[in-house]
């Protein structure tokens, strides 16, 4: 009891300090389904008009569903690329005696630390030359390449925890190196693969700069670019619409986090459960 | 199938671990590779199964040169010290894995898997995962997985090291039973001399990458070639005593001991320093040469008592005798040694 008594000032202080944050989130939601009279914070009517972008495409803008599909394609494709390539590259760097292994390891580390944004002009030029500018494929490739070092490093860490004898036992049992990887090692790093896939998806879903610069066109717009274009438009500036689209954009992330937070924690454990 | 290592060498970078080792294991034989930690036992094993490439020499299975054959085609069953079961598979899947890799028809896989499970007595565990098994059960699964595809050769790397004393005893006879039943040629790596002596047809004692002696357990115990071998076999271990040759006798001068040179031993020239090896069971109430000392340690092992006696010059000898109450700590005793059963080594450890 005394513990509770002594902690209540702290609780109170924390509540007061975080109240503005909570209020912000509450208003973010409330504002999307109500109208308030000018100059007031208190809403006076319920409305769905701010969500009308879902069924009505304003002139001069791509359809929200098209954009959502692009975002999904973008995030899942980059995640898939990152997972497939990192899970193989991580294994090679962890186990096989490849030439210049140390160089690759260091290189991956440096690339991970390298601010990708400094490359954007060069990437822009390259994409233009090869004809992938303003295409989803182009920006997917770029995003996957930028996320890859993290993925490779992460997967290498997971592979490092798999006992070496398991692989040797597999080889003795007559399996090829590839089969050993597929059937014996990969199942041990499932938590890593899963977490990496989720991370890569979320990174892709939240990416703004790359699609904005490399694929701004209406057909290939992703949600973040669409959202930004709403406030960039000075003529009919609609705060409530912006908030609604923002909520819509956030929802999948929240849902994913809600369902998979346990797995996400696992990534730092680095263990081989499952 | 006969295994022959012919002048086999292995180095890691600049470190030469094994040099010019020649070793033959006969068909159907179980051979123990016995030696202290780091002497190259596992390295030898890994070369035989193809995990390590040899740096020199040849490896033959039967008449076939296996030196450059990849692991997968050597058909060697290996039981690793950590068992290395596949944690995400059930026991049944673990045992069946080598068969599935061979793409045997499913019915055949099941039949052979169950037959093997019966052989190692784990039929009722087939649905479990390795994490749900005791050490001894995991050990059996590893053995079953190594044997299921009828390998030419079975290699066991300290398979009993992780088990408790009772289970170790049990698995010792169990592994031997399975080896005899399948008639497979096997090599057992161990640093436990009891294991080597009780399980194997022959023992190869290794030290620092070289084989010191190969013989049957009996022969090696009775007739060790060097002081190292004598010191490695026997529990409680042999005791060593510095002595000199004097007038055709072996004398420990500062402890007033004179022993005749045992039969079959070259009498060393007068004044040569030698090392005597005296096993605990050759020192006791009966014998021909008296040894005086003070009892400095008594340990009862149930049926027998183990005594340490300290001689006048400070050296310690061990004696193992039937339990009796007439000797206690710090007593001065005069016991006898059967001088025909002691070993005489030169200063560098070679048997004379
Ligand atoms: N991959 C390696 N690289 C370098 N040196 C190695 C390697 N593997 C083993 N060694 C060295 O070779 C020697 C023999 O090792 P090995 O594993 O064969 O010993 P062991 O007899 O099996 O010992 P233990 O009883 O402790 O298992 C050791 O000195 C070890 O340090
Ligand atoms: Mg070893």
More confident residue, A72 or B348: A72
Pairing of strands B153-157, A34-35: unpaired
Instruction: Work out how many domains chain A is built from and give that number.
Output: 2
Give the per-residue pLDDT at A265.
Answer: 66
Domain co-membership, A198 together with A247: yes
3-state helix, strand, coil in chain A (%, to 5): 75, 0, 20
Is A92 domain-assigned?
A: yes
- Flag if B49 and A172 touch (Cβ within 8 Å): yes
Q: What is the DSSP letter of B266?
A: P
Give the per-residue pLDDT at B8.
Answer: 92
Give the per-residue pLDDT at A271.
Answer: 43
Domain co-membership, A227 together with A176: yes
Q: Whose CA is nearest to atom 22 of ligand 1?
A: B42
Query: A172 contacts in B (CB within 8 Å)?
Result: 49, 51, 71-72, 76-78, 146
Give the per-residue pLDDT at A274.
Answer: 36
pLDDT > 70: percent of chain A: 94
pLDDT in 10s for each residue of chain B, 352 residues: 899 999 999 999 889 999 899 999 999 999 999 999 889 999 999 999 998 999 999 999 999 999 999 999 899 999 988 889 999 999 999 999 999 999 999 999 999 999 999 888 889 999 999 999 988 899 889 989 998 988 989 999 988 887 778 888 888 888 899 899 889 999 999 888 888 999 999 999 999 889 999 999 999 998 899 999 999 888 888 999 888 888 878 888 777 788 888 887 887 888 888 898 999 999 888 888 888 888 999 888 888 889 999 888 888 889 998 888 888 888 888 888 888 888 989 888 888 8
Give the per-residue pLDDT at B331.
Answer: 85
Distance CA A57, CA A41 (A): 29
Q: Token pair for residue B301?
A: 């092992």
Contact at 8 Å (CB) between B213 and B226?
Answer: yes
Is A54 domain-assigned?
A: no
Domain co-membership, A39 together with A128: no
Domain co-membership, A141 together with A234: yes
Distance CA B222, CA B263 (A): 13
The C-alpha R_g of chain B, in whole angstroms, comes to: 24
Within its chain, how far is the Cα of A150 from the centroid?
A: 13
Sheet of B202-207, strand order: B76-79, B153-157, B185-190, B30-34, B202-207, B210-215
Q: pLDDT class for A43, splitting at 50, 70, 90?
A: confident
Distance CA A196, CA A90 (A): 12
For chain A, give the mean pLDDT: 87
Query: B78 contacts in A (CB within 8 Å)?
Result: 168-169, 172
The range of the structural domain enclosing residue A113 comes to: 63-268
With a CB cutoff of 8 Å and minimum separation 6, the contacts of B289 are B257, B258, B259, B260, B336, B337, B339
How close is the Cα of B43 to the center of ligand 1, in Å? Answer: 6
Contact at 8 Å (CB) between A220 and A70?
Answer: yes
More confident residue, B241 or A266: B241
Give the per-residue pLDDT at A273.
Answer: 40
* pTM of the predicted protein model: 0.79
Nearest chain A alpha carbon to B76: A172
A183 C-beta neighbours (distance < 10 Å), count = 17
**From its phi and psi, is residue B150 left (phi > 0), alpha (psi between -120 and 50) or beta?**
left
Domain co-membership, A37 together with A73: no
Is A188 domain-assigned?
A: yes
pLDDT > 90: percent of chain A: 44
Domain co-membership, A19 together with A72: no
Domain co-membership, A255 together with A152: yes
Q: Tell me the mean pLDDT in the region A113-141.
A: 90
Is A31 domain-assigned?
A: yes
Is A273 domain-assigned?
A: no
Q: What is the CATH number of the domain that holds A154?
A: 1.10.3720.10
More confident residue, B82 or A81: A81
Distance CA B56, CA B63 (A): 18
Distance CA B40, CA B25 (A): 17
Domain co-membership, A126 together with A205: yes
Residue A274, chain B, CB below 8 Å: the answer is yes
Domain co-membership, A183 together with A257: yes
Residue B76, chain A, CB below 8 Å: the answer is yes
Domain co-membership, A8 together with A73: no
Distance CA B139, CA B81 (A): 9
pLDDT tens, A178-216? Answer: 999 999 999 999 888 988 998 899 999 999 999 999 988
Backbone angles phi, psi at B231, to 5 degrees: -70, -25
Residues touching ligand 1 (Cβ under 6 Å) are B 12, 15, 17, 35, 37-43, 191
Query: B80 contacts in A (CB within 8 Å)?
Result: 165, 168-169
Atom number of ligand 1 nearest to Cα B35? 21
Q: Token pair for residue B43?
A: 């390295």
Domain co-membership, A88 together with A126: yes
Listed residues: CB within 5 A of ion ligand 2 = B 42
Domain co-membership, A67 together with A33: no
Q: pLDDT class for A74, splitting at 50, 70, 90?
A: very high
Is A87 domain-assigned?
A: yes
Distance CA B189, CA B159 (A): 8
Contact at 8 Å (CB) between B298 and B328?
Answer: yes
CB pairs A-B closer than 8 Å: 58
Q: Any idea which residue has 């060697």 for tokens? A: B76
Is A108 domain-assigned?
A: yes
Domains of chain B: 3-224 (3.40.50.300), 239-346 (2.40.50.140)
Q: What is the DSSP letter of B192?
A: -
Contact at 8 Å (CB) between B106 and B84?
Answer: no
Alpha carbons within 13 angstroms on the beta-carbon side of residue A103 total 3
| Whether pLDDT at A143 is above 90 | yes
How close is the Cα of B41 to the center of ligand 2, in Å? Answer: 6
H or E stretch covering A80: helix A64-95
C-alpha triplet B284, B290, B292: angle, nearest 5°? 85
pLDDT tens, A202-252? Answer: 999 999 999 999 988 878 899 999 988 888 877 777 888 888 999 999 998
- Distance in Å, alpha carbon of A270 to nearest chain B alpha carbon: 17
């Amino acid at each position: 009891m005394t513990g509770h008594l002594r902690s209540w000032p702290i609780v109170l202080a924390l509540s007061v300090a975080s109240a503005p944050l909570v209020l912000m989130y509450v208003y973010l939601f409330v504002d999307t389904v109500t109208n308030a009279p000018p100059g007031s914070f208190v809403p006076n009517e319920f409305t769905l008009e701010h969500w009308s972008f879902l069924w009505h495409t304003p002139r001069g803008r791509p359809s929200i569903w098209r954009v959502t599909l692009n975002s999904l394609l973008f995030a899942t494709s980059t995640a898939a690329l990152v997972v497939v390539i990192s899970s193989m590259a991580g294994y090679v760097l962890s186990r096989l005696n490849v030439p210049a292994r140390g160089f690759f390891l260091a290189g991956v580390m440096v690339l991970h630390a390298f601010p990708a944004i400094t490359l954007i002009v060069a990437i822009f030029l390259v994409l233009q030359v090869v004809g992938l500018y303003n295409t989803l494929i182009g920006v997917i490739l770029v995003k996957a390449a930028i996320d890859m070092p993290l993925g490779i490093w992460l997967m290498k860490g997971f592979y490092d925890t798999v006992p070496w004898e398991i692989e040797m036992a597999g080889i003795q049992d007559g399996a090829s190196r590839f089969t050993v990887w597929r059937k014996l090692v990969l199942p041990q790093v499932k938590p890593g693969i899963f977490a990496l896939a989720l991370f890569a998806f979320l990174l892709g879903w939240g990416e703004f700069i790359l699609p904005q610069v490399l694929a701004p066109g209406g057909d290939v717009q992703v949600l973040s670019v669409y959202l930004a274009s709403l406030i960039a438009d000075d003529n009919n500036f609609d705060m409530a619409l912006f908030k609604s689209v923002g909520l819509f954009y956030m929802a999948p992330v929240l849902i994913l986090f809600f369902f998979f937070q346990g797995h996400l924690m696992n990534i730092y454990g680095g263990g081989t459960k499952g | 199938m006969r295994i022959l290592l012919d002048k086999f060498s292995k180095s890691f970078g600049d470190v030469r671990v094994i040099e010019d080792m020649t070793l033959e294991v006969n068909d159907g034989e179980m051979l123990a590779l016995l030696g202290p930690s780091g002497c190259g036992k596992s390295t030898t094993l890994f070369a035989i199964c193809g995990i390590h490439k040899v740096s020199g020499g040849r490896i033959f299975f039967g008449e076939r040169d296996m030196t450059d054959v990849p692991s997968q085609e050597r058909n060697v069953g290996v039981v690793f010290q950590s068992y290395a079961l596949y944690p995400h598979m059930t026991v049944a899947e673990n045992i069946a894995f080598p068969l599935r890799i061979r793409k045997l028809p499913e019915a055949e896989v099941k039949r052979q898997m169950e037959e093997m499970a019966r052989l190692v007595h784990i039929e009722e565990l087939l649905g479990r995962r390795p994490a749900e098994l005791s050490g001894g059960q995991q050990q059996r699964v590893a053995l079953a997985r190594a044997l299921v595809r009828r390998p030419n050769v079975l290699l066991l790397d300290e398979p009993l090291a992780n088990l408790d004393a009772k289970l170790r005893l049990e698995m010792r006879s169990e592994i031997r039973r399975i080896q005899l039943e399948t008639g497979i040629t096997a090599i057992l790596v161990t640093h436990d001399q009891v294991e080597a002596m009780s399980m194997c047809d022959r023992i190869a004692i290794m030290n620092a990458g070289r084989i010191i002696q190969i013989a049957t357990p009996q022969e090696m115990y009775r007739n060790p070639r060097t002081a190292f071998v004598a010191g490695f076999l026997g529990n409680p271990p042999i005791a060593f005593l510095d002595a000199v040759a004097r007038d055709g006798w072996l004398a420990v001068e500062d402890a007033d001991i004179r022993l005749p040179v045992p039969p079959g031993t070259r009498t060393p020239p007068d004044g040569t320093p030698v090392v005597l090896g005296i096993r605990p069971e050759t020192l006791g109430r009966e014998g021909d040469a008296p040894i005086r000392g003070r009892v400095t340690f008594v340990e009862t092992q149930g049926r027998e008592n183990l005594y340490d006696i300290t001689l006048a010059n400070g050296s310690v000898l061990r004696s193992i005798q039937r339990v009796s109450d007439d000797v206690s700590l710090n007593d001065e005793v005069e016991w006898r040694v059967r001088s025909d059963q002691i070993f005489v080594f030169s200063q560098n450890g070679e048997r004379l």
